[in-house]
Structure 1
């Protein structure tokens, strides 16, 4: 009944209520608001009803139970812009007030906002980064020209759900999950591959940020950067740092990283053991001295090819230094298996190497060490294998230091 009286008195006082931004309060809570005020603050009535009136103004309202009050204030627009206004509060009945807002500088603020928007769109079209703004759910409302260039597509084909169809199926789920997380307020990023119309694949890095619209609907904005060339460059740098430029085998630095992980696995018990073999090309210095370093380099390339061909599964050959190579065979723990591997390595080295008009009878010395147990260390494993190889090289009788290498690193 009280609300009916309040509305009746309001209608009597304001003949043209639809043209004035007006709200009715009950104990500081909004329980009725007209369309003019909703438009002024760019918010839906459903989002205002029941809320504290103070959320709309920068300063508390002046309320009197006896007479109307007029005060200067700032009205908060949904965009965050504060609009200068004059607020009139009129007591109706009990704890019910009518609030009428008269804007003093709305058009000036609106003009500044429009200028800001134009500057943003100009910037969005000029920056060398893809920019997108969502519409509803995962649908895009806006993409800038640079994003269209990255995807090698027109803007029209990317808005809506078209942008998602460009991602490879293996990466699409991760992109969707990151976008959905942004809708719920979580900032995130993901790197994924896209397929462009030319058939080329690109890697792009996408960043998402949460935003809310004037009606409190969840959305997101974000950027897209083409990182294809950068990642390829990083991969080339990583390869150069971990591979021998001549033979393209992993180098000594890569050996230490890989072998450290294997030794850790052996010590933790997730791997039974590991066999490490050293290989040294016999009389390599005489090849360089007699035929030149170019022939020596060609010989090293051929040796590396043969050694890698003798590796199986998780085995790997490395160029250690000069004419020395190291081979790693995970999960090899018996002398029988070790001898089979050594015979296989010696077999691939037996055929002569033909380089242009030269025939080089190739021979190499091998030595190995098997590491097992919780006390295994990388340094001792390499030292034992190296010592076994040099003993083989000097005696030509002992293939491996079986007395120490076989049980190296084991406990008890």
Structure 2
């Protein structure tokens, strides 16, 4: 900014708005910027406040009870004390006629609600700078007029002195840092200075053949003409507006245009003097601020703020037009965390940018793709004929994202789970659309990923139920509603009891028994499994040590406890297990921790390190449900595992024409060759027991021997079975 437009004096700003939230936001923001702020909640108080202590600028709402903004502005302009105060209108009205009316009654600028605070600050700064410039220009004009008078007197005394004075005026005019032009009353340029030529891109001889309308932006001419008319009629002595000029090569230059009429001794208009302050750099910075507030830094896609605005507009249009249909598509990348963890966040960021560009090519010109955050994208599909339009785009996205992206000379693979929600009168807010599209997206993930799901009301009911179940689960932990059941594990060689598997159970006070398959995934997702897992481990160890003391079992009985993937990744896992063993006084060799295959292949080296530390403390390790997860055969020999547990899905059918007999035999053989023992789960018949014995299986558990038992029933089972 030119130094002539700055000031060290603390500027006073009056804010007039009948909305308290707007007053508070603007008051706080402007005060933090160093301005002295006054507030008024209606037009009457604004007039009183402006008259008592004249502000440097007024931010004025249009629609208010009592006097509206137009009336307030007219009264301010009608009083000598307040007529020069620049007024910036704030309004949700965005029609051209409203803006013209705002400028007609004396406003200098117009900001449309809902406003961006960066825009307000930039426009306030512009107007205050212009106000300072206007004062400086007034002084300059007065000085020029004084010099003309002095030169007239000097002319009577000496032509030499007049020549010197004219030269000083010429230099002042030519060297002024602001573009200055003298024009005829019909707008033709008579004289222009160097700065004006540089701003317009025209040499002076070409400008002298043009009028101000020739170089003005077509959209700005109507407002400027209205002000010129007021000048000629004597309603105002000068005006200043934000205006755009077109340079010789067609570029748009943003500036503050100030025009004054020069009158003769009889007060007749003689010519116009215009000054143009180039604010293109400031305007560009303002636009960048606004763009940054509404777009994602990484991908340059619209961000949540802009997306929500567009969704609200779509909802309003749907309420006005019953035949208007749109859809929201919620896209979440599958296994994106693995890309970040394995290849680094830089590669992850490049992948997000590549996907953003890909999505832009897959939508129509009327659609919008936005980045919600992380690896989540939203597409607003506008003007649909029916749901099939959205389905076709979703299928195209799924197909395209199946192809690898080339990032830093390597192929990076990802897929997407997509949730689709169609507009309907049911929706009243944009957040509701996002919520339901998110629900549908999670249903797509649960159904196997790399696919889409269309939202229906059943999904919402399920989500509400899941949320309630999570709340109830938190209460269950707090109120100790969770229980541990114990399923016996029997040696197939001796028929004796060798141990128990600790199984989590939940008796809900109103819903009754809640299946682990229903609440364990919620515990995993919310992280509650850490607390629950620690509790069941402590309870199982305490119970086994109690039985060992009561029945003098020494260390012949073991307890198996499932370990979750989140627990396995906990950096304090080893320390917590040591603490529990010490607290319960259980011999660590009596504890077996069960892990699933999928847990083992995620960050293999870290998993092996953790398992080795556990084995170093004589804790036994088992792979649960072996054969049903991701294959880890190539790594199995590296894991310090003691036991493979054969999944019940193989055991249940080995009696049906030996359908799974080969699989079971392979697992048992593999376990023995690696120095492990094998336990069969889900054993229900004598035939299964006989076949497992014949295959050399070491141990078994299932309803044939016993269902999971309460602590009391398990103790009775110990007393009645040989150990």
TM range (shorter): 0.5 to 0.7
Please name the residue that 2:366 is paired with: 314
Q: Report the Cα offset of residue 394 of structure 1.
A: 1.4
Residues 102-153 of structure 1 deviation map (CA, whole Å, 9 limit, x = unaligned): xxxxx99974999999987765555422223333422233433322332244
Please name the residue that 1:204 is paired with: 255
Task: Tell me the SS of whatever aligns to 2:377.
Answer: strand
Distance in 2, matches of 1:162 and 1:255, equals: 44
Residues 21-48 of structure 1 deviation map (CA, whole Å, 9 limit, x = unaligned): xxxxxxxxxxxxxxxxxxxxxxxxxxxx
Conserved? CA contact 1:368–1:405, under 8 Å: no
Question: Aligned residue pairs: how many?
Answer: 301
Conserved? CA contact 1:346–1:364, under 8 Å: yes
Please name the residue that 1:259 is paired with: 311
Please name the residue that 1:161 is paired with: 210
Task: Tell me the SS of whatever aligns to 1:232.
Answer: helix
Corresponding residue to 1:139 among 188, 198, 217:
188
Q: Does residue 129 of structure 1 match 2:129?
A: no
Which stretch has the larger CA shift, 250-259 or 370-379? 370-379
Distance in 2, matches of 1:275 and 1:160, equals: 56
Conserved? CA contact 2:215–2:246, under 8 Å: yes
Q: Does residue 338 of structure 1 match 2:387?
A: no
Task: Tell me the SS of whatever aligns to 1:399.
Answer: strand
Q: Report the Cα offset of residue 372 of structure 1.
A: 2.5
Conserved? CA contact 1:181–1:188, under 8 Å: no
Which stretch has the larger CA shift, 386-395 or 129-138? 129-138
Distance in 1, matches of 2:154 and 2:459, equals: 80
The structure richer in strand per residue is: 1
Q: Report the Cα offset of residue 326 of structure 1.
A: 0.5
Cα–Cα, structure 1 residues 109 and 122, in superposed 2: closer, same or farther, change >3 Å? closer
Please name the residue that 2:77 is paired with: none
Q: Does residue 282 of structure 1 match 2:334?
A: yes
Please name the residue that 1:30 is paired with: none
Instruction: State the TM-score, normalizing by the size of structure 2.
Output: 0.37
Conserved? CA contact 2:325–2:422, under 8 Å: yes
Which stretch has the larger CA shift, 352-361 or 211-220? 211-220
Corresponding residue to 2:453 among 399, 405, 409:
399
Cα–Cα, structure 1 residues 141 and 291, in superposed 2: closer, same or farther, change >3 Å? same
Distance in 1, matches of 2:393 and 2:365, equals: 13
Cα–Cα, structure 1 residues 117 and 322, in superposed 2: closer, same or farther, change >3 Å? same
Conserved? CA contact 1:318–1:325, under 8 Å: yes
Distance in 2, matches of 1:338 and 1:249, equals: 20
Q: Report the Cα offset of residue 373 of structure 1.
A: 2.5
Cα–Cα, structure 1 residues 365 and 398, in superposed 2: closer, same or farther, change >3 Å? closer
Please name the residue that 2:138 is paired with: none
Q: Does residue 247 of structure 1 match 2:299?
A: yes
Distance in 1, matches of 2:189 and 2:442, equals: 68
Unmatched tracts of structure 2, length 5 or more: 1-140, 143-148, 156-161, 461-723
Q: Report the Cα offset of residue 306 of structure 1.
A: 1.3
Conserved? CA contact 2:331–2:441, under 8 Å: yes
Q: Report the Cα offset of residue 314 of structure 1.
A: 1.3
Distance in 1, matches of 2:373 and 2:293, equals: 15
Distance in 2, matches of 1:151 and 1:221, equals: 16
Instruction: State the TM-score, normalizing by the size of structure 1.
Output: 0.62
Conserved? CA contact 1:384–1:404, under 8 Å: no
Q: Report the Cα offset of residue 250 of structure 1.
A: 1.2
Residues 359-408 of structure 1 deviation map (CA, whole Å, 9 limit, x = unaligned): 223211000111222852111111011111111111237612234689xx
Cα–Cα, structure 1 residues 181 and 117, in superposed 2: closer, same or farther, change >3 Å? farther
Conserved? CA contact 1:370–1:405, under 8 Å: no
Conserved? CA contact 2:312–2:430, under 8 Å: yes
Task: Tell me the SS of whatever aligns to 1:342.
Answer: helix
Task: Tell me the SS of whatever aligns to 2:398.
Answer: helix
Residues 76-124 of structure 1 deviation map (CA, whole Å, 9 limit, x = unaligned): xxx99xxxxxxxxxxxxxxxxxxxxxxxxxx999749999999877655
Distance in 2, matches of 1:401 and 1:262, equals: 18
Residues 245-293 of structure 1 deviation map (CA, whole Å, 9 limit, x = unaligned): 2212111122122222222222233871321110000000001111111
Please name the residue that 2:199 is paired with: 150
Distance in 2, matches of 1:318 and 1:149, equals: 41
Task: Tell me the SS of whatever aligns to 1:238.
Answer: helix
Conserved? CA contact 1:271–1:331, under 8 Å: no
Distance in 1, matches of 2:312 and 2:415, equals: 30
Please name the residue that 1:354 is paired with: 406
Cα–Cα, structure 1 residues 405 and 259, in superposed 2: closer, same or farther, change >3 Å? farther
Q: How is 1:3-402 mapped onto 2 (pairs within 5 angstroms)?
A: 111=153, 124-159=173-208, 161=210, 164-167=213-216, 179-180=228-229, 182-184=231-233, 185=235, 187=239, 189-196=241-248, 201-214=252-265, 216-218=267-269, 219-269=271-321, 272-332=324-384, 334-373=386-425, 376-396=428-448, 399-402=453-456
Conserved? CA contact 2:336–2:414, under 8 Å: no
Which stretch has the larger CA shift, 296-305 or 218-227? 218-227
Q: Report the Cα offset of residue 210 of structure 1.
A: 4.2
Distance in 2, matches of 1:239 and 1:380, equals: 26
Q: Compare relative contact order (CA 8 Å, sep 6+) and give the higher one, 1 or 2.
A: 1
Cα–Cα, structure 1 residues 295 and 245, in superposed 2: closer, same or farther, change >3 Å? same
Residues 203-258 of structure 1 deviation map (CA, whole Å, 9 limit, x = unaligned): 33323344543455434333212122222222222222222222121111221222
Distance in 2, matches of 1:189 and 1:222, equals: 11
Cα–Cα, structure 1 residues 335 and 159, in superposed 2: closer, same or farther, change >3 Å? closer
Cα–Cα, structure 1 residues 141 and 392, in superposed 2: closer, same or farther, change >3 Å? same
Please name the residue that 2:709 is paired with: none
The structure richer in helix per residue is: 2
Distance in 2, matches of 1:405 and 1:146, equals: 66
